[in-house]
Amino acid sequence: MVISKIISLSEGKALIYADAENREKFISVLAKTGVRSVVTPDTETGGVNAELRPADVKKIAPILDKKEIMVYIKDVCGFAGFCAANRKRVGVLLGIIIFFAMLLVSTLYVMRIEVSGSNLLSKQTVIDDLEQFGISVGTKISEIDKDTCADRFLAKYPEFSWVAINFEGTTASITLKEKETQQSQTGEKYDYLTADRDGVIKSLLVYSGKAAVKPGSAVKRGDILITGYITGSGLQYEETPSLRYEGAMGSVIAEVKENVSVFVPYHEETVSAVNTERVALVISVIGKEFVLGKIPESGVTETPEKYIEVFGAVELPVTYREIYTVGETVTVTERDVAQSRTEAEKQIYKAVSESLGEAEITALKVTMTEEKDGIRAEAEYTCLCEIAIPGYVKQRE
């Protein structure tokens, strides 16, 4: 019902009037042509009124002319009527239509970018980088790959742990999360920061102090990356220039090459210790020990001292510990070549994962070598990690 009303409004309708003389002829034409219309009598004149669609008016007009049936258009409603009533305001109507069309189209594009969560980069720097990665004002929202943009941003700035890209209407909301380093957590400024391993600098952020290297530089373990310095006004007319020490604080991400190795033998014996039974109880009262049972010379373990209360309110320093004999079990594992390779592969990937820690791996190569007694697996990998560690050049008070 609602849809039919909308269609009727968009098409428009004409209110046709036929007087008493032409009334019967007009109704007959409507019936013969199959035009459906609501016909109402006009009580004042004895004629009839009929609401017709523009297409129906066009259909019966030649017949009415041929039969010389006189009818009149009393009113026009709907879109046609609106256009007729405002035919002198075509420019205004056209402007309104264009405005709403542009408003509809603009909702499909990014019109504003908001950035939050970054203390390391300015808002404009983030916006400029996002433009290179596919997000800018004027970009069609449906064509933006949020995951790819976030991955490319994190690849350029490893000091961020994640990037969230969301759209609220035509606004792109960019939320950044910085990685927490030991120096940023404590806020302590050191005399200098040095490299704890060899690598190639990928990014360097100086919170305080001066950078001694640049991105792209190859550094060795122990090289100074950021150094503190003494600053002051240095004005010649000052009798006592104000000097201030700026300690070193920052984050240095480098690409580092590492390698790990594991060996899985064909024949392996695993020795495990097992507690068997308690053989002695040692009680200590006011520094004097009493042994209940016998303590073997070897193969024993004991529990930590436990304190007990004696005589209620009277506190005596009484402790006791238990002595157990320790037995050993030997587990023998036999593997063929295929089983050893499978175990070596599992252990090498576990070793790489443990060695990486929070670093981000960028390349990995694993090789298997068959030796006389087993399989040796070696992994060479490249990762991005924090390499700056603190150092001092003078005694701290």
Q: What is the pTM of this model?
A: 0.41
pLDDT tens, residue order, the chain (397 aa): 333 443 444 456 777 888 878 878 887 887 777 777 777 887 777 788 888 777 777 778 888 877 778 887 777 665 555 555 555 555 655 666 665 565 555 567 788 888 887 777 778 888 888 888 888 887 888 888 888 888 888 777 777 777 888 877 778 888 887 765 544 444 556 788 899 989 999 988 888 788 899 889 999 998 999 888 766 544 444 455 555 667 788 889 999 999 999 999 999 887 776 667 778 888 887 778 888 888 877 777 787 877 776 655 556 678 888 888 877 778 888 999 999 999 999 999 988 888 887 788 889 999 999 998 999 999 999 998 889 888 776 544 4
CB burial readout 81-115, b (16+ within 10 A) else e: beeeeeeeeeeeeeeeeeeeeeeeeeeeebeebeb
* Cβ pair 71, 18 in contact under 8 A: yes
Q: Which two tokens stand for residue 332?
A: 């023998």
Look up residue 73 and give its amino acid.
I
